[in-house]
């Protein structure tokens, strides 16, 4: 059986992303496996584990188990390659418990578009271009950069799966935009990994000087690579301010490395849920089965070690400093950032503004936890003197005389912020009479003054 070690332009730290490339394709029916073919596949996978798996003792245990299965023809009733690989995966995972390991059947007709030994420079360039263009569709993993109320920065890094030549300038632009915020929230809840070099680039923004963060040992190549933060990552570094990293149950691989490292170096507070627990990088190894197609063995042969903890998050995940449902992690981090700012704030006016935002966020969290509930917005619509409240597309809109309509954002019980570009935002708090009907609202200006506007109809 021919074995090829494929060079993947983007070495994904999360094997699930790799598998998704083929999960949508319908594999054609393959000829039934013979006893010899079955044994050859099983023994070849066992050999790979003995020589390549990141932990030699477990690799040897897998080989011993698979040799026994092949010798006894334990799977003699399995004639289809896909079913065989599913059973082998289950048996191997019972030994190694490694989330990055996987066995995939790749039909001979599949267009893998990988750089393979012997490929021409033209083919390599075409594959690189396709990888770059695919990453560009996701803005190189930088999904959102914005400034939340209270001047709190928010950066959503949904993936580290992008070439650095594309990611570096985009990341620099994001950090340049966020450099004057008072605290930063980095969202890793949907990040399932990517290039360790990209992880290191992102971490560089939080270290003043080049700092050795971790090493990755590659058993296949028998090499150890050191990852050190950059002195000049390309944009404005984010130093001396509070940083919060959001995690969830789908944060994986590189999406775990980032919060794990910043937590270990005490550079960030982690908020959310425990992560997947996959710290081993992998090398895809292809077994050529001729008419049966190919078997991709996603072999975990790399182990990351943080220089502070002398360990990693394999099997245990990243443990948040503040455990909350991932659903509420952003609101919780936003609230914590504002409360931290309040502690050091000397201006009573500014403290009051921060407290107002905290109260608003508390209401939002309570509403999310209770599931909200439909409201009859029409009961708020009406004429309030020179001011009018209307309903458009299931949203309340505020206007003054013939002025523009302004969206009203719920911020408390029967309280709405006017969605305009000032901080703090003017606020409307509706009032009811003794019979429970809306009879007016208080317009709360950003200086704290309240003006009652009586309902006219």
Domain ranges of the chain: 141-279+302-336, 342-370, 377-454
The pLDDT of residue 3 is 53
Give the residues across from 409 on adjacent strands: 417
Tokens of 402: 């013939």
**Using an 8 Å Cβ cutoff, are 69 and 42 in contact?**
yes
CA atoms of 27 and 52, how far apart (whole Å): 28
DSSP readout, 302-313?
Answer: EEEEETTTSS--
Which range among 17-26, 259-268, 343-352 has the greatest average pLDDT? 259-268
Whether 141-279+302-336 shares its CATH topology with 377-454 is answered no
Q: Do the strands 242-247 and 183-187 form a parallel or antiparallel pair, or are they unpaired?
A: parallel
Task: Give the C-alpha separation, 385 to 394, whole Å.
Answer: 23
pLDDT band of 370, cuts 50, 70, 90? confident
Dihedral angle at the C-alpha atoms of 233, 234, 235, 239, nearest 10 degrees? 20
| Type and span of the H or E element at 111 | none
Give dist(CA 145, CA 153) in Å, integer. 8
The predicted-structure confidence for 114-131, as pLDDT tens digits, reads as follows 555 566 788 778 878 888
User: Model confidence over 149-194: pLDDT tens digits?
Assistant: 999 999 999 999 999 999 999 999 999 999 999 999 999 999 999 9
pLDDT higher than threshold 80 for residue 270: yes
What are the backbone angles phi and psi of residue 92, rounded to the nearest 5°?
-70, -40
Question: Which of 366, 237, 261, 246 is CA-nearest to residue 313?
Answer: 261
With CA atoms as reference, report the closest residue to 450 among 431, 433, 435.
431
Structure tokens at 412: 């408390």
The pLDDT assigned to 357 comes to 93
Contact 272, 189 (CB under 8 A): yes
Range from 17-21, 116-120, 206-210, 295-299 that averages highest in pLDDT: 206-210
Q: Does domain 377-454 have CATH number 2.40.128.50?
A: yes
CB–CB of 374/447 below 8 Å? no
The yes-or-no verdict on residue 12 having pLDDT over 50 is no
- Torsion, Cα 269 273 279 284, to 10 degrees, reads -130
Mean pLDDT of 66-94: 95
Query: Residue 10 — pLDDT band, cuts 50, 70, 90?
Result: very low
Dihedrals φ, ψ of 95, to 5°? -95, -45
H or E element in which residue 259 lies? helix 254-264
Among candidate residues 182, 132, 120, the one with its CA nearest the CA of residue 342: 182
Q: Which CATH class is domain 141-279+302-336?
A: alpha beta
What are the residues whose beta carbons fall under 8 Å from the beta carbon of 429, sequence distance 6 or more? 412, 414, 415, 416, 441, 442, 444
Phi-psi region of 372 (alpha: psi -120 to 50; beta: other; left: phi over 0): left
Alpha-carbon 131 to chain mean position: 20
DSSP H helices in 179-312 = 196-203, 254-264
**Residue 81 near residue 29, CB atoms below 8 Å:** no
Q: Tell me what pLDDT residue 302 has.
A: 94
- Pick the residue with more confidence: 132 or 2? 132
């Amino acid at each position: 059986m021919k074995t090829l070690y494929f060079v993947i332009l983007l070495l994904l730290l999360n094997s699930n992303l790799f598998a998704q490339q083929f999960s949508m394709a319908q594999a054609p029916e393959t000829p039934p496996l013979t006893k010899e073919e079955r044994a050859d596949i099983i023994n070849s996978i066992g050999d790979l584990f003995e020589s390549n798996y990141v932990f030699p003792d477990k690799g040897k245990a897998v080989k011993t188990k698979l040799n026994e299965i092949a010798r006894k023809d334990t799977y003699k009733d399995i004639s289809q390659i896909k079913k065989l690989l599913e059973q082998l995966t289950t048996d191997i995972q019972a030994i190694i418990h490694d989330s990055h390991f996987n066995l995939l059947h790749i039909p001979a007709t599949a267009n893998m578009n990988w750089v393979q030994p012997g490929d021409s420079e033209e083919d390599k360039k075409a594959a690189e271009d396709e990888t770059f263009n695919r990453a560009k569709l996701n803005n190189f993993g930088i999904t959102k950069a914005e400034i939340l109320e209270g001047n709190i920065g928010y950066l959503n890094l949904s993936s580290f799966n992008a070439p650095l030549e594309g990611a570096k300038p985009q990341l620099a632009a994001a950090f340049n935009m966020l450099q004057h915020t008072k605290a930063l929230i980095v969202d890793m809840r949907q990040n399932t990994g990517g290039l360790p070099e990209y992880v290191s680039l992102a971490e560089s923004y939080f270290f003043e000087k080049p700092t050795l963060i971790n090493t990755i040992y590659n058993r296949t190549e028998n090499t150890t690579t050191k990852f050190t933060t950059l002195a000049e990552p390309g944009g404005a570094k984010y130093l001396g301010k509070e940083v919060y990293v959001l995690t969830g149950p789908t944060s994986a691989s590189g999406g775990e490395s980032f919060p794990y490292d910043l937590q270990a170096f005490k550079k960030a507070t982690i908020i959310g849920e425990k992560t997947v627990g996959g710290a081993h990088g992998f090398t895809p190894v292809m077994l050529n089965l001729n008419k049966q197609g190919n078997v991709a063995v996603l072999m975990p042969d790399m182990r990351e070690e943080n220089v502070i903890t002398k360990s990693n998050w394999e099997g245990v995940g990243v443990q948040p400093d503040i455990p909350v449902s991932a659903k509420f992690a952003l609101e919780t981090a936003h609230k914590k950032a504002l409360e931290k700012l309040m502690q050091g704030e000397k201006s009573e006016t500014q403290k009051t503004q921060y407290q107002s935002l905290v109260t608003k966020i508390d209401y939002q969290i309570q509403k999310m936890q209770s599931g909200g509930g439909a409201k009859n917005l029409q009961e708020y619509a009406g004429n309030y003197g020179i001011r009018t409240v209307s309903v458009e597309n299931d949203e309340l809109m505020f206007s003054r005389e013939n002025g523009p309509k302004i969206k009203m954002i719920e911020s408390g019980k029967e309280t709405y912020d006017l969605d305009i570009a000032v901080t703090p935002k003017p606020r409307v708090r509706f009032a009811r009479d003794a019979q429970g009907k809306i009879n007016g609202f208080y317009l709360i200006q950003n200086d704290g003054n309240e003006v009652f506007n009586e309902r006219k109809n």
